[in-house]
Amino acid sequence: MPANLPPEYFEVEKTLRQARTAEEKIAIMEKLLSIIPRHKGTEKLVALYRSKIAKLKEEIERRPAAKKGQLFRVEKSGAGQVIVIGPPNAGKSAVIRALTGVEVEVADFPFTTRLAAPYMMPFENIKIQLIDTPPITADFMESWLVEMIKMAEAALVVLDSASPESSAQLEIIVNRLKKKKVELVSAETPIPPEKFPFMKRTLLVLNKSDLGEVNNLKEELEILFGRALETVAISALSLTGLEELRRRIFDLLQIVRVYSKVPGKKPDYESPFILKKGSNIMDLARQVHKDFAEKLNYARVWNKQGTITGLRVTRDYLLNDEDTVELHL
Ligand SMILES: Nc1nc2c(ncn2[C@@H]2O[C@H](COP(=O)(O)OP(=O)(O)OP(=O)(O)O)[C@@H](O)[C@H]2O)c(=O)[nH]1
Ligand SMILES: [Mg+2]
């Protein structure tokens, strides 16, 4: 019986020959499986791919632990690293493209993105690193993705607000990560340092708001997760909601920008020091120079609002976003 495979099958099958890693091969074969029509004539082909996928997965499992993530570790850069995850076709790559202006590959079929890739998103005077990733489904998640999520400072989960499956897909992702001991938490959740890899501040991005009401999905999510995770509605296509999203991503990082100035001179507003929220003058001094850390006498502070101007403070003074600080030895 002839297999009668659609042309798309052969297009995708070609890419299999160029695939180098086991992860890439699995992703392509999963895609082929989603294309192959199911009938008597394709039974053998389906079985063949299934067994190949199973073998590749075993191969990945046999890799030494240290090697598993190695190939896919993304060097950190900028003020913070935010990993973008989600179900297939939700628009993860499109959202990154809209936020960064970089030509990220976007396509109308699942499993378009097969490898992790970093992009820089400008936010006011800083840059935040966004990592595009392959999708997570009930039966597929790259073995190295969890390690990458653990290393990132925060996560975005992109969902298709027009799809009736989005809340179930989020549930699948949350549960898959939970099995790997990773918990997605809201932006304000305090995370003790030893919990850093296992608790990830997360924002839910309800994409494709141009296709209709996002409230249905919001309500479903609230029923399933309470208000544990915050949402922001955007459209990567009509470019709406992006400014709010950029600000919310910055908030998710829980960092402050601090300008250091020399007495009598203006601060450099283009290259702020980046510190964790809750940092004080002493933390800043350590970043500026070890001499300051050792010999700091006092500091003067100006705030963004202009309500604090040159106030003399001690080393335990808590810093706010966009404070200007003069360190005195
Ligand atoms: N209407 C509409 N379509 C969108 C929007 N964002 C993305 N899309 C479309 O959704 C499809 C999938 O977009 P991608 O960015 O490739 O999705 P992805 O989540 O990266 O998909 P994978 O890499 O396969 O996991 C493409 O056809 C996009 O053009 C949006 O805001 N509105
Ligand atoms: Mg993609």
Let me know whether 157 and 52 are in one domain. Answer: no
The residue whose CB lies within 8 Å of the most ligand 1 atoms, and thus the one to mutate among 112, 211, 235, 245, is: 112
pLDDT of residue 69: 46
Q: What radius of gyration do the chain's Cα atoms show?
A: 23
Torsion of CA 173, 56, 29, 146, to 10 degrees: 20
Query: CA torsion, points 274, 75, 122, 209, in degrees to nearest 10?
Result: -120
In a domain, 44, yes or no: yes
For 213-265, write each residue's pLDDT tens digit: 899 999 999 988 888 899 999 999 999 999 999 999 999 999 999 999 988 89
Which CATH number does the domain housing residue 321 bear?
3.10.20.30
Q: pLDDT averaged over the chain?
A: 91
Quote the pLDDT of residue 23.
Answer: 76
Residues 41 and 160 placed together within one structural domain of the fold: no
Same-domain status, 246 and 263: no
pLDDT value at position 17? Answer: 81
Q: Are residues 39 and 81 in the same domain?
A: no
Give the atom of ligand 1 at the shortest distance from the alpha carbon of 236: 31
In a domain, 114, yes or no: yes
Q: How far apart are the CA of 116 and the centre of ligand 1, in A?
A: 16
Does the residue 286 lie in any domain? yes
* pLDDT of residue 290 exceeding 80: no
CA 211 to ligand 1: nearest atom? 1
The pLDDT of residue 35 is 83
Q: Which of 229, 253, 277 is the last residue of a domain?
A: 253
Residue 1 lies in a domain: no
Report helix, strand or coil for 67.
Answer: helix
Q: How confident is the model at residue 70 (pLDDT cuts 50, 70, 90)?
A: very low
Number of domains in the chain: 3
Residue nearest to atom 14 of ligand 1 (CA): 91
| Ligand 1 within 6 A of CB of 80 | no
Statement to judge: residues 37 and 114 lie in one domain? no
Contact 119, 129 (CB under 8 A): yes
Average pLDDT over residues 92-111: 92
With respect to residue 278, please indicate whether it lies within any of the assigned structural domains.
yes
Alpha helix ranges (H) inside the chain? 7-18, 22-35, 43-62, 65-70, 92-100, 145-151, 166-179, 215-225, 242-253, 281-288, 290-295
Q: What is the pLDDT of residue 289?
A: 82
User: What local confidence, expressed as pLDDT, does residue 1 receive?
Assistant: 56
My answer on whether 175 and 96 are in the same domain is yes
Mean pLDDT check: name the lowest of 20-24, 45-49, 91-95, 270-274. 20-24
**Block residue for tokens 């896919």:** 72
Report the pLDDT averaged over residues 175-191: 94
* Overall average pLDDT of the 128-154 stretch: 93
Determine the pLDDT at residue 126.
Answer: 96
Using a pLDDT cut of 70, give the percent of the chain over it: 96
> Tokens for 27?
């992703």
Q: Which atom of ligand 1 is nearest to the CA of 114?
A: 23
Domain's final residue, options 205, 227, 253 = 253
Spatial distance between the Cα atoms of 186 and 159, rounded to a whole number of angstroms: 16
Asked whether the predicted pLDDT for residue 147 surpasses 50, the reply is yes
Same domain? 217 vs 301: no
In a domain, 91, yes or no: yes
Scan for tokens 């283009």, then name that residue.
Answer: 270
Q: Are 27 and 116 in contact (CB under 8 A)?
A: no
pLDDT-based confidence at 281, cuts 50/70/90? very high
End of a domain among 17, 33, 62? 62
Indicate if ligand 1 lies below 6 Å from the C-beta of 45.
Answer: no
Q: For 144, how many CA atoms within 13 A lie in the half-sphere containing its CB?
A: 22
Give the mean model confidence (pLDDT) for residues 1-10. Answer: 79
**Whether residue 56 sits in one domain with residue 78:** no
| Residue owning the nearest CA to atom 10 of ligand 1 | 91
Task: Give the range of the structural domain holding residue 98, as residue numbers without chain letter.
Answer: 69-253
Q: Are residues 165 and 230 in the same domain?
A: yes
Same domain, 51 and 73: no
What is residue 158's predicted lDDT score, i.e. its pLDDT?
A: 98
What distance in angstroms lies between residue 104's CA and the mean position of ligand 2's atoms?
A: 8
Ligand lying closest to the C-alpha of residue 89:
1
Is 239's C-beta closer than 6 angstroms to any atom of ligand 1?
A: no
Q: Is the pLDDT confidence value at 285 over 90?
A: yes
In this structure, which residues have their CB less than 5 angstroms from ion ligand 2? 92-93, 112-113
In a domain, 318, yes or no: yes
Average pLDDT, integer, range 294-311:
94
Distant-in-sequence, close-in-space partners of 11: CB < 8 Å, separation ≥ 6: none
Residues 233 and 289 in one domain: no
Strand 255-261 with 273-276, pairing: antiparallel
Q: Rounded to an integer, what is the distance from CA 306 to the centroid of its chain?
A: 34
Residues 228, 111 within the same domain = yes
The answer to whether residue 2 is domain-embedded is no
